[in-house]
Structure formats: C-alpha cells, structure tokens
C-alpha cells in the first residue's frame, strides 16, 4: 500500500482535477456514451460524486456494488455538468476534512460497510476509481488520457487487490513506474507494457488478451 499521507494528498488532487474535467464538458460531451456499459459521461460523473457524497455522510453499505453505483448515478440524472461539479466542490471539502481526521490506527482498521478492506485500502480504491472514471469520461469525449500520480496509485491499488485475491505471483514492471509485486516476487512472472493499458485490462475495460493475460486479472470480476 502507498503511505497514508500520499493517498490523502492524492485523493484531494485527483478530485480537484475531476471537478475541472466535469466543468469543462459541453452539453453534447456530457451526454456521450461511455465505456461503462449503459452509462453516459454524466452517469459516470454522477456515480463518482455520489460515492464521495455517500461516504462523507456515513452511507457506506454496498459501496462499489452495481445497485448502489446505479443509484448514485440515477440521483444526479438531469443535472448539468456545472451542477454536478458544484456538488463535487462541496463534497471534496468534506472528503478532505474526513481524511484529515484519520490517524494510523483508523487507517489500518477495517472499513465499515463489509467490503473486507481496511480504511486505507478503501481510500486507495476511491483514488483509483476517481482516476479511472476520469479516464472513462475523457475517452467518451475523445480527449487524451492523463498520466501522473493517479495512474501510479491505481496500479498499486490493483496490485494490492490482486494479492488479496491470490492472483499471481507476478511483478508489474510497467513502463515508467517502479516495479510492483503481486504476491511472492520469487520466480514471479514479469508483466510489462503500458501502465494505462494494464489498468484498463485489470479493471475490466479492455481485453486482457492484449497483454497476454486472462480474465482473472480483472479485480472487479466476481
């Protein structure tokens, strides 16, 4: 796992960037279909904002499930991009306040909601989700992907999830990133290539065969 301070700072910066992205979308881009099946760019943004609105208000049960994700998107359908960005501006301030209250003991404790993750792992998953959903929206609008700390953090989260699922062992030796181990690194397979391409494969957004992998690499698969 990445250090707590890095995750806390990274989530704040990622949410700021996500708000800017949403606010920049015109009415046509807002309603374009995304690679999240059945969802528009607006739905992706609504789900992401709704997820942070939920956790900062203590509504944690079922986070990440299809039912809750759809509810979060549906609650914001009909709103403009500016209205959703305005909500996110409020929610990210609440998120910063919540994160600043977490000490090491809380960070390592089990997260509420039955996910089986620690609070730190849950927050890492939200950073990953913010980055990936931002890329979903950029892809829908035909805009280039952005690299940076969010991509690195997402790869680390995926590695942690794959380790939890007893996938591997493997070493993620992806372009431009430090090696990240999945399970026991001794005699582990080395997975090379573009980190964003790997992330899209590992989150069910691209064909795993393109990287010589099978569907078990998808951390969101049941």
The per-residue pLDDT for range 134-165, each reduced to its tens digit, is 999 999 999 999 999 999 999 999 999 999 99
Residue with tokens 């914001």: 76
Domain membership flag for residue 94:
yes
Residue 222 has pLDDT above 80, yes or no: no
SS (H, E, C) the chain: CCCHHHHHHHHHHHHHHHHHHHHHCCHHHHCCECCCCCCEHHHHHHHHHHHHHHHHCCCCCCCCCHHHHHHHHHCCCCCCHHHHHHHHHHHHHHHHHHHHCCCHHHHHCECCCCCCCEHHHHHHHHHHHHHHHHHHHHHHCCCCCCCCHHHHHHHHHHHHHHHHCCCCCEEEEECCCCCEEECCCCCCEEEEECHHHHHHHHCCCCCHHHHCCCHHHCCCCC
Domain end among 109, 140, 171? 140
Write down which residue in 140, 165, 195 finishes a domain. 140
119 and 12 part of one domain:
yes
Do 124 and 160 fall into the same domain? no
Measure the CA–CA gap between 41 and 50, rounded to whole angstroms: 14
CATH of the domain at 185: 3.30.1050
**Under a CB-based contact definition with an 8 Å cutoff, are residues 189 and 128 in contact?**
no
pLDDT tens per residue, range 10-59: 999 999 999 999 999 999 999 999 999 999 999 999 999 999 999 999 99
Let me know whether 17 and 45 are in one domain: yes
Position 114 scores a pLDDT of 77
Please report, for the domain that includes residue 134, its CATH number. 1.20.120.450
Cα–Cα distance for residue pair 76/5, rounded to 1 Å: 31
Residues 158 and 134 in one domain: no
d(CA 92, CA 104): 21
Statement to judge: residues 125 and 53 lie in one domain: yes
115 with 206, same domain: the answer is no
pLDDT in tens, 122-135: 999 999 999 999 99
In a shared domain, residues 23 and 79:
yes
Same domain? 77 vs 169: no
The answer to the question of residue 222 being in a domain is no
Q: What is the pLDDT of residues 207-220, one digit of tens each?
A: 999 999 999 999 99
User: CA 79, CA 46: separation in Å to the nearest integer?
Assistant: 9
Residue 18 shares a structural domain with residue 95? yes
CA distance 174 to 194: 6
Are 111 and 213 in a shared domain?
no
Using 50, 70 and 90 to split pLDDT, how confident is the model at 7?
Answer: very high
User: Does residue 26 sit in the same domain as residue 89?
Assistant: yes
What's the domain range around 174?
A: 150-217
Closest CA to 95 of 134, 116, 126: 126
Q: Which of 102, 122, 140 is the last residue of a domain?
A: 140
The answer to whether position 100 is within a domain reads yes
The total of structural domains in the chain comes to 2
């Amino acid at each position: 796992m990445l250090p707590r301070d890095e995750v806390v700072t990274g989530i704040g910066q990622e949410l700021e960037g996500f708000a800017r992205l949403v606010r920049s979308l015109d009415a046509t881009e807002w309603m374009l279909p995304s690679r999240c099946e059945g969802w528009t760019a607006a739905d992706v943004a609504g789900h992401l904002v709704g997820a942070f609105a939920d956790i900062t208000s203590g509504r944690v049960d079922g986070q990440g499930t299809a039912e809750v994700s759809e509810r979060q998107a549906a609650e914001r359908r009909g709103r403009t991009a500016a209205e959703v960005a305005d909500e996110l501006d409020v929610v990210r301030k609440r998120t910063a306040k919540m994160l600043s209250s977490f000490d090491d003991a809380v960070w390592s404790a089990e997260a509420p909601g039955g996910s089986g993750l620690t609070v730190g792992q849950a927050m890492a998953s939200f950073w990953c989700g913010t980055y990936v959903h931002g890329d979903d929206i950029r892809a829908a609008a035909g805009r280039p992907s952005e690299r940076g700390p969010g991509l690195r953090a997402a790869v680390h989260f995926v590695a942690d999830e794959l380790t939890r699922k007893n996938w591997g062992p493997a070493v993620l030796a992806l372009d431009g990133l430090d090696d990240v181990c999945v399970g026991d690194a001794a005699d582990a397979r080395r997975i090379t290539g573009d980190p964003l391409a790997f992330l899209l494969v590992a989150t069910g957004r691209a064909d795993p065969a393109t990287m010589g992998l099978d569907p078990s690499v998808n951390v969101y698969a049941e």
